[in-house]
Amino acid sequence: MTRALFIVDVQNDFTEGGALGVDGGDAVAAAISRHLAAHAGDYDLVIASRDWHDADGDNGGHFSPSPDFVDSWPVHCVAGSDGAAYDPGLDTSAVTHHVKKGQGRPAYSLFEGTTDAGETVAELLTAHGVVEVDVTGIATDHCVRASALDAIAHGRRVRVLTDLIAGVAPEPSDAALAEMAHAGAALVSSESGR
């Protein structure tokens, strides 16, 4: 069974102290690193995504001076900035593919990004025969949700590793988990499925 690990947007701007920092973000970065140290060999692909927004313009309405925190947001994860860098607690040495998304436009799902070589996530999964995907990262109620739902839509069996995600707020995060489960994702801890 060919399996991939998704690490969604574990970046400085989404962890504590960042422009859109979530509580528990640093802890998730460290926990994903521990998971990789123990289980990197379980995965044929380890794909990490980053928001990578243009410094100029509003990125298709994604940036706003008066954000609604639904479709528009404060400036975050500007390409090349410290905010767009991976959280220092995330060990990326086992990452096989780095994906950038949101270049000039809104993007939530890891599937909306590409590698520097121009490969899409869908192409990578198909090329490597990936059948199962484990999803980790930030934020449960936004980009984790979108990435997991897209993986299901692309015909993969999906597990959301619930101890390796962090959300913006409890209520929308719980709703996102329920939506992912309803769509077919298994909600499991990182150790329960081994």
Length of the chain: 194
Q: Please give the order of strands across the beta sheet that includes 97-101.
A: 97-101, 45-51, 3-8, 132-138, 157-166, 186-188
The pair phi, psi for residue 121, each rounded to 5°, is -65, -40
Beta-sheet pairing, 186-188 with 157-166: parallel
Q: Pick the catalytic residue: 51, 77, 100, 101?
A: 101
Residue 4 sits at φ, ψ, to 5 deg, of: -120, 150
- Out of 9, 26, 87, 134, the active site residue is 9
Tell me, yes or no, if 100 is annotated catalytic: no
At residue 140, the 3 state secondary structure works out as: helix
Handedness of CA 114, 26, 96, 149 (dihedral sign): negative
Beta bridge mates, 98? 48
Q: Which position among 51, 87, 134, 143 bears the catalytic label?
A: 143
Catalytic annotation on 101?
yes
Which residues are registered as beta bridge partners of 156?
none
In the annotation, is 77 catalytic? Answer: no
Q: Helices 170-183 and 145-153 meet at what angle, rounded to 10? A: 10
Residues with a known catalytic role: 9, 101, 143
